[in-house]
């Protein structure tokens, strides 16, 4: 159930920051515009790829959260009904669209599916506690992923802006060249 | 006219805020749909004559007394309203920051920059 973030190291440690180009004309000196643009394009592609992965992780977590909330709601309701001493009467799904009626009296424990083919029995308070811990872990993960998304988004925007600046600088340069050509002709 | 590091940071910040606003919009839409479902359920319950109703919790329909079901719905509705309010507030503050950044960036770059959506 627990999902580890990129092997302990934070994303800025793993993924280099897109460097900001202070002076584009200086940056383009000695190198061809095409090479410079290709370099940016490559970096942009890598960042985009990482972003995709982050977005997927985010979606997985966002999907997991309501699942845990659902489990928690059931456990809490069972606990409340046990407290009141009422017998739980419910329709439970036998298969997707087939429901059967069940009466549950004196529910002491539930089985939690832990994943990887393992199911464990927990007393109601223990189950509730475990699920609450899971839920807290989930939202903690979500905020980490959010930070990672912010970071990668910054790098993407920086590369995009740099590419625009190089292109526009190249235009100005070409314009200068053609100006000189017409002048000398 | 060249882009300075401060400009780049402003642009990055704007882009980040924009993404967040989009995410919040999606969440608000989902909450609104849920609120409508709850309202519909409340109306149905008001008309229902049964003493017990099946109420979906997790994957099962628990047979709950009508009053209990009504209370649960009310609780869910309240929860939804407060989440909605919190998100709307966050959205308003993000939009305010975006407006400030827009002002700065448009003042410098004019038509050379496009900061919509």
In three state form, how does the secondary structure of B38-71 look?
Answer: HHHHHHHHHHCCCCEEEEEECCEEEEEEHHHHHH
pLDDT at A8: 64
Positive or negative torsion for Cα A39, A43, A45, A46: positive
Domain residue ranges in chain B: 5-105
A-interface mutation test, from B12, B33, B101, most A Cβ less than 10 A away? B12
Residue B113 has pLDDT above 90, yes or no: no
Rg of chain A in Å (alpha carbons): 29
**pLDDT by residue (tens digit) across B76-94?**
999 999 999 999 999 999 9
Confidence band (pLDDT; 50, 70, 90) for B117? low
Positions of chain A with pLDDT lower than 70, given as ranges: 1-8, 175-176, 179, 185
pLDDT at A5: 47
Q: Which of A99, A153, A161 is closest, CB to CB, to B3?
A: A161
- CATH fold of A31-173 reads Helix Hairpins (1.10.287)
Q: Which of B11, B19, B63 is closest, CB to CB, to A90?
A: B63
Please tell me the distance from the alpha carbon of residue A121 to that of residue B12, in angstroms, as a whole number. Answer: 49
Domain residue ranges in chain A: 31-173
- CATH fold of B5-105 reads Helix Hairpins (1.10.287)
């Amino acid at each position: 159930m627990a999902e580890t973030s990129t092997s302990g190291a934070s994303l800025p440690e793993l993924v280099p920051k897109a460097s900001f180009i202070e002076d584009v004309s200086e940056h383009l000196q000695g190198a061809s515009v095409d090479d410079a643009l290709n370099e940016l394009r490559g970096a942009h592609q890598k960042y985009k790829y990482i972003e995709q992965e982050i977005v997927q992780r985010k979606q997985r977590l966002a999907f997991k959260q309501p699942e845990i909330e659902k489990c928690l709601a059931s456990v809490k309701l069972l606990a409340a009904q046990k407290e009141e001493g009422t017998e739980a009467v419910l329709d439970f799904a036998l298969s997707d669209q087939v429901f059967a009626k069940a009466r549950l009296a004196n529910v002491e424990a539930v089985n939690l599916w832990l994943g990887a083919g393992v199911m464990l029995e927990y007393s109601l308070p223990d189950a509730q506690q475990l699920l609450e811990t899971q839920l807290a872990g989930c939202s903690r993960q979500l905020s980490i992923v959010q930070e990672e998304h912010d970071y990668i988004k910054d790098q993407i925007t920086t590369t995009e802006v740099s590419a625009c600046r190089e292109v526009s600088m190249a235009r100005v340069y070409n314009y200068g060249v053609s100006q000189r050509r017409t002048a000398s002709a | 006219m060249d882009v300075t590091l401060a400009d780049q940071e402003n642009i990055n910040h704007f882009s980040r805020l924009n993404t967040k606003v989009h995410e919040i919009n999606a969440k608000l839409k989902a909450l609104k749909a849920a609120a409508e479902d709850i309202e519909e359920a409340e109306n149905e319950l008001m008309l229902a004559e049964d003493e017990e109703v099946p109420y979906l919790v997790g994957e099962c329909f628990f047979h709950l007394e009508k009053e209990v079901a009504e209370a649960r719905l009310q609780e869910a509705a309240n929860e939804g309203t407060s989440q909605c309010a919190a998100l709307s507030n966050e959205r308003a503050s993000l939009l305010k920051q975006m407006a400030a950044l827009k002002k700065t960036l448009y003042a410098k770059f004019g038509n050379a920059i496009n900061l919509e959506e």
